[in-house]
């Protein structure tokens, strides 16, 4: 008869025993609390930003016009003459000054904003006609009539 074989060792345990894990459903409480806190802080920041924009709308618009002018001046087409470039710069300056002096209501600038968005979409393919049209709209928003001399420009003599 053969001697009895020793019992085989039990198989090694898996590093993670699924049976040992408690059965719960859903997210843990700290995760839920953290998500709610982030949403609250984000909501408060959004409301604070909107409040700032409402209280400082004219300053934000002036800054936006300055940035748009700087960007537009870098991408003007070569066929824009120096006089037209100066006229555009003066038109931007007149509108910004009008907003600062509260002579120009912000609502009057809506056509100008649409034209600036159209030009921004074109990028480097801006035409001379686009620049002239924007200049005319800026001058109209500033209250200048067609053919009226620009600020700092002597009236034309006939």
* 3-state SS class at 1: coil
The pTM (predicted TM-score) of the whole model is 0.61
Q: Does the pLDDT at position 26 exceed 90?
A: no
Please report the DSSP string for 105-154 in residue order: -GGGGHHHHHHHHHHHHHGGG--HHHHHHHHHHHHHHTTPPTTPPPTTSP
Highest average pLDDT, of 42-46, 68-72, 149-153, comes from 42-46
Average pLDDT (76-103) is: 90
Q: Does the pLDDT at position 14 exceed 60?
A: yes
pLDDT in tens, 34-55: 999 999 999 999 999 999 988 9
Lowest mean pLDDT among 15-24, 55-64, 127-136: 15-24
Q: What residues does each domain of the chain span? A: 57-141
């Amino acid at each position: 008869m053969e001697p009895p074989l020793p019992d085989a060792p039990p198989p090694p345990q898996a590093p993670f025993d699924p049976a040992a894990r408690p059965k719960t459903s859903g997210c843990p409480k700290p995760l839920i609390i953290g998500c709610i806190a982030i949403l609250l802080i984000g909501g408060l920041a959004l409301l604070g930003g909107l409040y700032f924009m409402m209280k400082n709308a004219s300053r934000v618009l002036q800054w936006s016009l300055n940035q748009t002018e700087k960007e537009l001046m870098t991408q003007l087409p070569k066929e824009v003459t120096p006089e037209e470039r100066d006229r555009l710069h003066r038109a931007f300056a007149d509108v910004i000054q009008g907003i600062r002096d509260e002579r120009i209501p912000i609502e009057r600038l809506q056509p100008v904003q649409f034209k600036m968005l159209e030009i921004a979409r074109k990028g480097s393919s801006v035409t001379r006609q686009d620049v002239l049209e924007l200049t005319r709209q800026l001058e109209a928003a500033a209250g200048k009539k067609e053919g009226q001399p620009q600020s700092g420009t002597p009236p034309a003599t006939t």
